Amino acid sequence: MTPLHFEQLYEAEWTELEAQVRLILTGRSRQSNGVEPIRGDRVAALYRRACEHLALARARGYPRYMLDRLEKITGDAHQVIYQRREFGVHRLKRAVLYDFPRAVRSHAAYVWLSTALFMIPACVVGWLVYQNPDLILSVVDAGQAAEFEEMYSESDRSIGAVRDADSDWAMFGFYIEHNTSISFQCFASGIFFGVGSMFFLVMNGVFGGAIAGYLTERGLGETFWSFVVTHAAFELTAIVLSGAAGMRLGHALVSPGRHTRKQSLVLAARESMVIIYGVAVMLLIAAAIEAFWSSARWLPLPLKYSVAAGCWIAVLSYLTLQGRRAD
């Protein structure tokens, strides 16, 4: 049976269940706008049927939009039948342990493309600038290059040299604003058919790679890498995921399938927002590490690199393994 035939065959039941659940949730029990009055036995029967349809649709690999609709219908019906709402700690626990990593894995194609668009320019440009430091002027001007050198040098104005608690909190706020703006660019610009997300991913990869190559060639690699390596596990991953979510929006506009472009965009945005919520948490963690840990020059380098390795392993393991049993 084709997905279209399946949908046409059971569309009436799904619509009826949606209408019945809507009446229950809005607290109305009488007939309204042509909808049959609430009947508990009928709602329960439709709920069981919708669960069967969802299982069939999953087993047959039917389109994502159909699975999303059936998941929402059965989820809402389950809530009204069993009178259990998932708010607060329970909902947060589900989002962290299941929804976010599952959403990332379900968008694996976009995540891999986003990773390539960011990492390949970063590595290529970083290597070229390391071999020929004058190329840094193709990315930043001479004044900015000098500022980066001073920032990661042993001078009194370098990162972490004269920081106190108030400065750490001020930088924490700055890093949140700065990192959020980059991620927002990568995500929101996806509305331009995905091209905007691709552009900002490549641009940020080029910029980061150029700075890394330049400072390493100048002999400031130890200061630079020990500063960025820990929080980068959360920050760079969040930027890549933001770009992936943005490209999902763009693809919905380029190839809407059987939906209108507006409908396709709404469905894509609904899927992508789960990732964006996770990205927001990752950016908060990254800002905290960058402000209170990365800038601590007194910490021994082996400890910093060990913690960084642990963070990278934790982030990648979480995104690839967490919640797979639920899948």
Residue 156 pLDDT > 70: no
Report yes or no on 131 lying in a domain.
Answer: yes
Higher per-residue confidence, 225 vs 42: 225
Same domain, 77 and 164: no
Report yes or no on 98 lying in a domain.
Answer: no
Q: Largest Cα–Cα distance of the chain, in whole Å?
A: 77
Same domain, 57 and 143: no
Same domain, 138 and 271: yes
Same domain, 47 and 144: no
Residue 264 pLDDT > 50: yes
Same domain, 67 and 177: no
Question: Residue 213 has what pLDDT?
Answer: 96
Question: Residue 30 has what pLDDT?
Answer: 47
Question: Residue 31 has what pLDDT?
Answer: 46
When the pLDDT of each residue in the chain is averaged and rounded to a whole number, the result is 87
Report yes or no on 37 lying in a domain.
Answer: yes
Same domain, 61 and 35: yes
**Residue 259 contacts by C-beta under 8 Å, 6 or more apart in sequence?**
65, 267
Q: State the total domains in the chain.
A: 2
Question: Residue 36 has what pLDDT?
Answer: 55
Question: Residue 27 has what pLDDT?
Answer: 62
Report yes or no on 94 lying in a domain.
Answer: no
Residue 250 pLDDT > 70: yes
Same domain, 261 and 309: yes
Q: Tell me the pLDDT band of 91, cut-offs 50, 70 and 90.
A: confident
Report yes or no on 91 lying in a domain.
Answer: no
> What count of other Cβ atoms lies within 10 Å of the Cβ of residue 144?
13
Instruction: Encode pLDDT of 105-123 as tens digits.
Output: 999 999 999 999 999 999 9
Report yes or no on 327 lying in a domain.
Answer: no
Residue 3 pLDDT > 70: yes
CA 227/CA 211 separation, integer angstroms: 13
Report yes or no on 165 lying in a domain.
Answer: yes
Last residue of a domain, one of 51, 85, 119: 85
Higher per-residue confidence, 219 vs 167: 219
Same domain, 210 and 252: yes
Instruction: Encode pLDDT of 170-229 as tens digits.
Output: 888 888 999 999 999 999 999 999 999 999 999 999 999 999 999 999 999 999 999 999
Same domain, 204 and 116: yes
CA 231/CA 240 separation, integer angstroms: 14
Find the domain containing 18 and state its range.
3-85
Same domain, 186 and 63: no
Report yes or no on 96 lying in a domain.
Answer: no
Nearest alpha carbon to residue 64 among 311, 302, 251: 251
